[in-house]
Amino acid sequence: MRQALEPILKINNLQTHFFTKAGILKAVDGVSFEIAAGEIVGLVGESGSGKSITGFSVMGLVDPPGKIIDGNINFKGKDLSALSNDQMQNIRGNRIAMIFQDPMMTLNPVLRIETQMIEAIQAHDGGVSREDARIRSRDTLGLVGISSPDERLRAYPHQFSGGMRQRVSIAIAMLNRPDLIIADEPTTALDVTIQGQVISEMQKLCRETQTALLWITHDLAVVAGIADRVCVMYAGRIVEQGLVANIIANPMHPYTQGLMGSVPSQNQRGKPLQQIDGMVPSMLNLPVGCAFQNRCNYANEKCSNMQPDITQVADGRQVRCFNIPAGQQL
Amino acid sequence: MKPILKVQNLSKDFIKSLDLVAKGLNRIGQNYKEEVVHAVDDVNFSIFKGEIVGVVGESGCGKSTLGRMVAGILSPSTGSVEFDSSQANNKEIPSALRTQMIFQDPFSSLNPRKRVVDIITEAPIYHKLIPPSEKRAFATEMLQRVGLDPDTLERYPHQFSGGQRQRVGIARALAVSPEFLVCDESIAALDVSIQAQIINLFVDLKDKFDLTYLFISHDIGVIEHISDRVIVMYLGRIVETAPIETFVKQPNHPYTQALLTGVPRLEVGKRQYEPISGEIPSPLSPPTGCHFHPRCNFATARCKAEKPALRKIAPAHFSACHLNDEA
Amino acid sequence: MSASANKQSYDLPAAGLRKFWLDFSESPTAVIALFVFLIILFIAIFAPWVSPSNPYDLTSVDIMNSRLPPGSEDFSGNFYILGTDGAGRDMLSAIFYGLRVSLGVGALSGLVALILGASVGLSAAYFGGRFETIMMRIVDIQLSFPSILMALIILAAFGKGVEKTIIALILVQWAYYARAARASALVEKNKEYVEAAKCLALGDKRIILSHIAPNCMAPLIVVGTLQTAHAISLEATLSFLGLGLPITEPSLGLLIGNGFEYMYSGDFWISIFPGIALLITIVSINLVGDQLRDMFNPRLQK
C-alpha cells in the first residue's frame, strides 16, 4: 500500500520566485508533493511550467535573482530550504543526485571519466582510497550497461556518443547510492532507440537499488511508461497529481485533458488534434484566479476571481479545479 | 497517375579533402585518406500530388540532407530530383519557388533584423509577384492564413513566441505560392500543446491550398498522425517505405519494428522497455553490407557482406532486408 | 483558432533603440564614458565656436604671450586656463582644434577601412573556396605586421600629408575589419534564415547585403570603436614622430610632439595637456566599445 511507505521527500507549498528588473516571476508558486523510497514520480509540464525550477530548488541550485521564499522541502527529516550551502554540499551528489538534459552539464570535457568519478566519490567520503574508488566507478559503469568499463574509464567525454554520455551521467549520479535521483529531461535529446535503452537502465536500477526517482519531462508518454505517479504542472502550480494509470485513463483537469489530446498517436489519425488555444500567460503577469482560465473551455466567473484549491478525488488524486463533477469529489 | 516529384539515385557525399600537409605526406609514402560521409546513399522514391509523405529516422540517417536536396538548397552529388510541372497549380510562378522549406529552429529561421512584414513580402516583391504598393495588404492576408494577428506586422522576430515564429516561417513560405513543402523537424522545438496547433495548421493549409508535403521528423507519433505514406531511413539509406496503415500494423524491416516498439506511447501505460542494443554507428565508418546488421537480432552472414536492395514486398510496400528473400 | 489569444497574454520585449539603451545603461562606467565622448565630439565638431580663440589665426597670436603657465593672464586680459605654447597660442584652443583633426582623421579612416574590410570579409565568407583562401591569407600577412611598422613603410614610400596619412591608416586597419566580418559572416551563413533566403531564390547580392551584412554589424561596430581609438593613437604616434600630419593641420599627436622639447625646461603644459586630452578621448571610446562588445556577446546574454 503506497500510503504506508514513509515519504523520503516531502515538499510543502514550495515558492520559488525570481526578482528581475521587469518584475517578480513566480516560477514555482505553491507546489506540494511527496516521493516515497523506491518510487518513480513524473513531473510533467511544458516550458515555463516551473518543473525544472522545482528540481533545482530541491537541490539548492537556484541562483539569484531566484530565491526560495516560502515552503519547506523535507528530505528524510531535514528541511533542505533551511540549510546553508555547505550543508547542502554534503547532500548534493551524495544523498540526492541530479541528471540533466545535456550530459555535458555533468561532464567536464577536459578530464577523464575516471578522474571525475573518483572525485565524486572522494568528495563525499574522504576515507575511500583511490583504488577502491576506481573499482566502485568501474562497477557502476557496468551497472548502467557500459561494456569494457576499465577501458571506458580512461576515456574523455568527447569519445562517447550522446547516449553513452548520458549513461555516464547516470552512473555518476548512482556512485554514492543516493536515496533520490532528480532527472531533468534526461532523454529528451536522445534518439528513440537510445532513449529506450536509457529508460530501461533507469527502470532496472531504481528497482534494484530502491532509489527514488523524480523524472521531470514534457513528454507524458515517457512518464506513462515508467512512473508510478505523476504531477502535472502549469504556470508554477501543480494542477493534477495522482496515479499515472488513473490520470491517463481519465484526465480531470482541463489542462491535462488538453495536453493528452495534443499528443498525436495512432488513435488520432485523420482527426484534428485537440489543441489548446492561446499560449501560456507571461509569468510576470499571471491573471488573478486560475492561471489556465484564458485557455479553458469550462472557465466561469469563479475561475477568474479565485485560485482553485486542491480537491481530493475518490481515486486518491488531487486536482486544482472548480469544475470537478461533485460525484467524483471526496 | 504520375508522381509530382520523382527522386532517383539521389546521393550526397560530404568530403573532407586532404589539406596541403597531408597531400605532401602522401607523396612521401604516407597513406592519408579523404574522409567521406555518405549522408544520403542512392535514394529512390516518388511522391504524388496531395500526399503527405513522412520521413522518419534517427541521428545520422540523412533525412535533413535529403530534405534540403529536395528543397533545392543543397545540390546532390549524384542523382536527380524531378518535378512534374504539368501538375503544378500555378504555372506562372518561377520554378525555383515551387518547393519551399519550413525549418526547425524558430529562433534562427527568421532574420532577426527584419520586421515580419518585410520577411514575408521580400521574396514576392523581389520576384515581382506582387507590386510593392500591395505589401501591407498581402502580408496581412498571409498572417491571417496562418492564424496570426495582423497587428503584429511591424514587429521583430524576437518579440514573438516560438510557435508564432514558426507560423511566420510558414507564412513566408506560402507567400510565394509553392506546390511542395518540405517540413524539416518543423515542430520539434515547440511545446507539445503548440505542436498540436501547428500540426492542425499544416493539415488545414494542405487542404486549402492543394499542397504536397515531405514531412521530416524523428517523432514517430507525429509521423503516424499526419502521413499518408512513410519512408524509414537509417544511416543514409531507405530501409522501408509503406502506406501508413501498413507501417503501423505490419512493419517489415527489423529497424522499423524496433523503432515502433521502442516509442513511448500514452496508451500503452507502464511497461518494461526492451530496447535494441548498440549505438547508432558513426556515418564516417558505417558497417559493411546492411548498415543495421550489428544491431539486428536476425542478422545473417549475408547481411554483413551484401547491401540489401529496396525490394517490393507488397503493393506500395518496399523493404530493404535480405530476410524477405528467404520467405 | 483564436488569433487574439495568441497576442494578448504575451509581454512584448523591448525593441530597437529602447532595447539598446536598456542594455547599454547596465554599465554606469560606459554611460559616463559615452557622455564624455559626446562632449569631446561636440567640441571637435564645433571647435571654432567653442574655443576661446583661434590659435591659427596669425593676427590674434602674439609671440610675447609664449610659454605662459596655466592660469595666467596676458597683457590684454586674456585668460589662458591651460597656458600657451611656444608660439603664444592658447593651449585650450589648440587642443580643441587638435581634437577636431584627430577625431576627423581617425573616424574617416575607420569608416573607409570598415567598408573596404567588411566587403572583403563578407564576400570571402559567402563565396568560400579559393577566393576566400587567397583573401584571408592576404589579411593574415597584413595583420602579422605591427601597425606602426606598416604605417611607417607606407608613409616613407608615399610621403607625408593629410591624404597620405589617412590612406596609410586605412591600409593598416582594413584587415581587422575583414577578419571580424568574415568570422561573423561564417556564422550567419549557416543559419536557417539564410537557407530560407536561398530557398526563396533571392540572389547572392541580395542575400549578402540584405540578410548577412546587417547581422554582422554588431561585431563590426565593436571593432570599429576600438579601431578608431587605435587609429587616433596611431596617427598621434606618427605625428609625434614628425611623419604624419603637417604643421598646418595639427592633431593632438603633433601638439604633443611639438611641445616635447619644452619639457626639459619645465614648461610641461605644452605637451602634457594635449596628452591628457588624447588619453581621455581614447579611454572613453574604448570603454564604450567594451560595453558594446559585452552587449553583443551571445554568451553573456541572459
The pLDDT assigned to A329 comes to 63
The pLDDT assigned to B273 comes to 74
Residue numbers in C near B99 (CB within 8 A):
199
Contact A294 C9 (CB under 8 A): yes
String of DSSP letters for B157-198: GGGS-HHHHHHHHHHHHHTT--SEEEEESTTTTS-HHHHHHH
Lowest mean pLDDT among C27-36, C56-65, C109-118: C56-65
Cell of B115: 520586421
For chain A, residues with pLDDT lower than 70 are: 1-5, 266-268, 325-330
Confidence of residue B286 (pLDDT cuts 50, 70, 90): confident
Write out pLDDT tens, residues B92-150. 788 888 899 999 998 899 998 889 999 999 999 999 889 999 999 999 999 999 999 88
Domain boundaries, chain A: 2-86+212-328
Contact C198 B112 (CB under 8 A): no
Our CA-based measurement puts residue B176 at a distance from the nearest CA of chain C, in whole angstroms, of 8
The pLDDT assigned to C17 comes to 74
Residue/partner pairs of C278-282 with CB below 8 Å, 24 or more apart: C278/C102, C278/C232, C278/C233, C278/C236, C278/C252, C278/C253, C280/C36, C280/C40, C281/C37, C281/C40, C281/C99, C281/C102, C281/C103, C281/C229, C281/C232, C281/C252, C282/C229, C282/C232, C282/C233
d(CA C88, CA A209): 92
Site from C1, C7, C10 to mutate, A interface, most A CB atoms within 10 angstroms: C10
Is residue B130 within 8 A of residue B117, CB to CB? The reply is no
User: CA angle A144-A55-A105, nearest 5°?
Assistant: 55
Flag whether residue C214 sits within 8 Å of chain B, measured between CB atoms. yes
Q: In what order do the strands lie in the sheet with B78-83?
A: B35-47, B5-16, B78-83
**Cα within 13 Å of Cα(B196), Cβ side:** 23
d(CA C298, CA C191): 15
Q: Which chains touch A (3 or more CB pairs under 8 A)?
A: B, C
Higher pLDDT, A39 or C86: A39
The pLDDT assigned to C4 comes to 39
Contact A276 B200 (CB under 8 A): no
The pLDDT assigned to B158 comes to 85
Write out pLDDT tens, residues C64-82. 777 888 887 777 777 788 8
Which domains, from first to last, does chain B contain?
A: 5-248+256-266 (3.40.50.300)
Write out pLDDT tens, residues C5-43. 344 334 566 666 777 888 788 888 989 999 999 999 998
Question: Do the interacting molecules here have an ipTM over 0.90?
Answer: no
Q: Is the pLDDT of residue B172 over 80?
A: yes
The pLDDT assigned to A3 comes to 47
B279 - beta bridge partners?
none
State which CATH number among 3.40.50.2000, 3.40.50.620, 3.40.720.10, 3.40.50.300 fits the domain covering A2-86+212-328: 3.40.50.300
Residue numbers in B near A195 (CB within 8 A):
262, 264
Contact A227 B191 (CB under 8 A): no
The pLDDT assigned to B326 comes to 65
Best CA proximity match to C181, nearest among C138, C232, C224: C224
Residues B45-70 have a mean pLDDT of 91
Can you list the positions of beta strands (E) in C93-182?
A: none
Mean pLDDT of chain C: 84
d(CA A310, CA C23): 42
Residue numbers in C near B156 (CB within 8 A):
15-16
Our CA-based measurement puts residue A99 at a distance from the nearest CA of chain B, in whole angstroms, of 20
The pLDDT assigned to C156 comes to 86
Radius of gyration of chain C (CA): 24
A271 - beta bridge partners?
none
The pLDDT assigned to C3 comes to 39
Flag whether residue A46 sits within 8 Å of chain B, measured between CB atoms. yes
Among C2, C10, C11, select the one facing A277 at the smallest CB separation: C2
Task: Report the SS3 class of residue C155.
Answer: helix
Is residue B238 within 8 A of residue B44, CB to CB? The reply is yes
Contact C192 B71 (CB under 8 A): no
Q: Is the pLDDT of residue C300 over 80?
A: no
d(CA B32, CA B21): 10
Residues B267-288 have a mean pLDDT of 78
Radius of gyration of chain A (CA): 21
Site from C7, C11, C18, C25 to mutate, A interface, most A CB atoms within 10 angstroms: C11
The pLDDT assigned to C8 comes to 39
The pLDDT assigned to C13 comes to 67
Residues C190-198 have a mean pLDDT of 93
Is residue B214 within 8 A of residue B56, CB to CB? The reply is no
